[in-house]
């Protein structure tokens, strides 16, 4: 059994930097023990968009950046036996696995053993009415339009199985983010599926890694309050985990960013609803006794995770059509810009009350009041001293025609509005709405497939 396992984060979300994994792999190559590179690229909206892409083209539906994430480090990973685990399979893990095999051939590398995990897609297993009956915290699915995607969060067992079967690369769809680290730890240490404290530690390890550079200074930095050195060169995190579940958080030597008690605690509590009962497919994580200790520069020890038996049900995310979002912007600049912007906003809202009275419209004055503004009212722009105001109008509706009316009204301000309006931009986006459901475990039909066996 290994004494220490090393897991590095190559990404924290679908749009993350595709060059981040390089320094992590360089650091892993100098480590003595089982080593893994983890790519987390899948959010609820990301998966629904992938399902739509697969509907349009059955060969698609995986993360489109998969080659840009993996290809630059694939040769070094294969040479050094650094095994790759990623949920970049999205809605089509088999196609993603085939793409990675093709990339290895194109690069002239040895053929990697690739496994993919299926079973998260609930299509055909539950009717819309059955999903609606299992919805938590709302009524979105009751009488909802066609379901775009329904995916259950799988646990780490399938990832561990794939690694047990010799996979160099494991491609998943919807698994719990933490499972991307717990699976390798179960494989390397032989942790059992009811060893709750160790499973809790592995879940915490995955939670610390899952957002990439958030734990090394990204999304943490606040100049003058929480300073982070060389953030443009931030190093992505590496965890050193022992067989008992203790871990040390660090990052590649010489990289930018910081790892200290503050960054670790902030990430540890990120998106945690109940620190004593963080629900994951494999275990319920209790953070109450966790201790975070700085060992030295960019080295933080985390111990004390405790586990309780896994929940009886699994979370599933169901996405449906959320209508259409329309956005249009226009700028006013120079003397009395704020006054002209205020007048423009009033004109558009008055005309829309006549043309589409039921449409809820949001008006933002970017730089004056937008992110922290209130929907449904005209911001108090007139009192602003700004000589440059960018107005943004937005509305969401099931009927695209009403949204288009709003965009037309904003564009008409060029000549029918106050002086000096310029730079109109307009855009319409199909929206998705999501609901959470609790699904009985029998509906999760997990399957591990070795790519060579599927050929």
Which H or E run contains 261? Answer: helix 261-268
Give the model confidence (pLDDT) of 235-258 as tens digits: 999 999 999 999 999 999 999 999
Number of domains in the chain: 2
The reply to whether 57 and 12 lie within a common domain is: yes
pLDDT of residue 365: 86
Whether the Cβ atoms of residue 211 and residue 266 lie closer than 8 Å to each other: no
Whether the Cβ atoms of residue 337 and residue 388 lie closer than 8 Å to each other: yes
Q: Is 450 part of any domain? A: no
Give me the chain's average pLDDT, please.
Answer: 93
Cα 383 from Cα 385, distance rounded (Å): 7
DSSP 309-353: PPPSEEEEEEEEEEEEEEEEEEEEESTTHHHHHHHHHHHHHHHHH
The reply to whether 274 and 326 lie within a common domain is: no
Cα 268 from Cα 281, distance rounded (Å): 18
Q: Which of 200-204, 345-349, 387-391 is predicted with the least confidence, judged by mean pLDDT?
A: 387-391
DSSP state of 417: S
Give the model confidence (pLDDT) of 78-87 as tens digits: 999 999 999 9
Cα 71 from Cα 107, distance rounded (Å): 8
The reply to whether 428 and 365 lie within a common domain is: yes
Does the pLDDT of residue 376 top 60, yes or no?
Answer: no
Q: Is 341 part of any domain? A: yes
The reply to whether 70 and 173 lie within a common domain is: yes
The reply to whether 344 and 432 lie within a common domain is: yes
Give the model confidence (pLDDT) of 154-193 as tens digits: 999 999 999 999 999 999 999 999 999 999 999 999 999 9
pLDDT of residue 370: 58
Q: Domain boundary residue among 288, 310, 332? A: 310
Q: Regarding beta strands 82-86 and 35-39, do their DSSP bridges make them parallel or antiparallel, or are they unpaired?
A: parallel
The reply to whether 301 and 406 lie within a common domain is: no
The reply to whether 363 and 386 lie within a common domain is: yes
pLDDT of residue 89: 96
The reply to whether 332 and 306 lie within a common domain is: no
Domain that holds residue 399: 318-436
Whether the Cβ atoms of residue 376 and residue 345 lie closer than 8 Å to each other: no
Q: Is 424 part of any domain? A: yes
What does the block give as tokens for 158? 């399938």
Does the pLDDT of residue 208 top 60, yes or no?
Answer: yes
pTM, full prediction: 0.92
Q: Is 77 part of any domain? A: yes
Distances (CA, A) of 128 to 53, 154, 176, 442: 21, 20, 23, 17
Whether the Cβ atoms of residue 36 and residue 237 lie closer than 8 Å to each other: no
Nearest to 46 by CA among 146, 173, 155: 173
Q: Is 135 part of any domain? A: no
The reply to whether 223 and 97 lie within a common domain is: yes
Whether the Cβ atoms of residue 103 and residue 74 lie closer than 8 Å to each other: yes
Q: Is 143 part of any domain? A: no
Number of continuous H segments (helices) and E segments (strands) in the chain? 12, 19
């Amino acid at each position: 059994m290994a004494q220490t396992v090393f897991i590095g984060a190559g990404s924290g979300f679908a749009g993350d930097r595709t060059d981040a994994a390089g320094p992590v792999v360089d650091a892993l190559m100098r480590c003595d023990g089982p080593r893994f590179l983890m790519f987390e690229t899948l959010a609820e909206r990301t998966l629904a968009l992938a399902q739509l892409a697969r509907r349009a083209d059955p060969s698609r539906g995986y993360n489109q950046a998969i080659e840009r994430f993996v290809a630059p480090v694939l040769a070094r990973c294969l040479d050094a036996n650094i095994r790759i685990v990623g949920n970049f399979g999205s809605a089509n893990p088999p196609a993603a696995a085939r793409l990675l095999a093709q990339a290895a051939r194109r690069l002239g590398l040895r053929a990697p053993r690739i496994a993919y995990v299926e079973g998260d897609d609930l299509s055909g297993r539950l009717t819309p009415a059955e999903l609606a009956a299992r919805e938590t915290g709302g009524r979105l699915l009751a009488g909802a339009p066609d379901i775009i995607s329904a995916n259950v969060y799988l646990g780490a067992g399938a990832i561990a199985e794939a690694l047990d079967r010799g996979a160099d690369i494991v491609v998943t769809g919807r698994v719990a983010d933490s499972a991307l680290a717990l699976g390798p730890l179960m494989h390397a240490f032989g942790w059992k599926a009811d060893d709750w404290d160790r499973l809790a530690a592995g879940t915490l390890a995955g939670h610390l890694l899952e957002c990439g550079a958030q734990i090394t200074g990204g999304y943490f930095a606040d100049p003058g309050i929480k300073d982070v050195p060389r953030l443009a060169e931030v190093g992505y995190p590496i965890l050193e985990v022992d067989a008992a579940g203790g871990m040390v958080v660090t990052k590649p030597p010489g990289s930018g960013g910081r790892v200290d008690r503050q960054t670790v605690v902030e990430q540890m509590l990120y998106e945690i609803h109940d620190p004593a009962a963080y629900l994951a497919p494999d275990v319920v994580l209790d953070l109450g006794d966790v201790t975070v200790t700085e060992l030295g520069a960019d080295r933080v020890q985390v111990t004390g995770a405790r586990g309780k038996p896994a929940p009886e049900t699994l979370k599933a995310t169901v996405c449906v059509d959320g209508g259409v979002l329309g956005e249009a912007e226009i700028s006013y600049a120079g003397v009395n810009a704020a006054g002209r912007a205020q007048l423009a906003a009033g004109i558009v809202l008055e005309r829309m009350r006549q043309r589409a009275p039921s449409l809820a419209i949001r008006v933002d004055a970017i730089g004056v009041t937008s992110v922290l503004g209130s929907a449904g009212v005209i911001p108090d722009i007139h009192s602003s001293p700004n000589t440059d105001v960018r107005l943004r109008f937005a509305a969401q509706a099931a009927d695209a025609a009403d949204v288009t009316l709003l965009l037309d009204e904003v564009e008409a301000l060029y000549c029918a509005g106050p002086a000096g309006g310029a730079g109109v931009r307009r855009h319409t986006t199909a929206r998705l709405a999501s609901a959470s459901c609790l699904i009985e475990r029998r509906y999760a039909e997990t399957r591990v497939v070795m790519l060579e066996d599927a050929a």
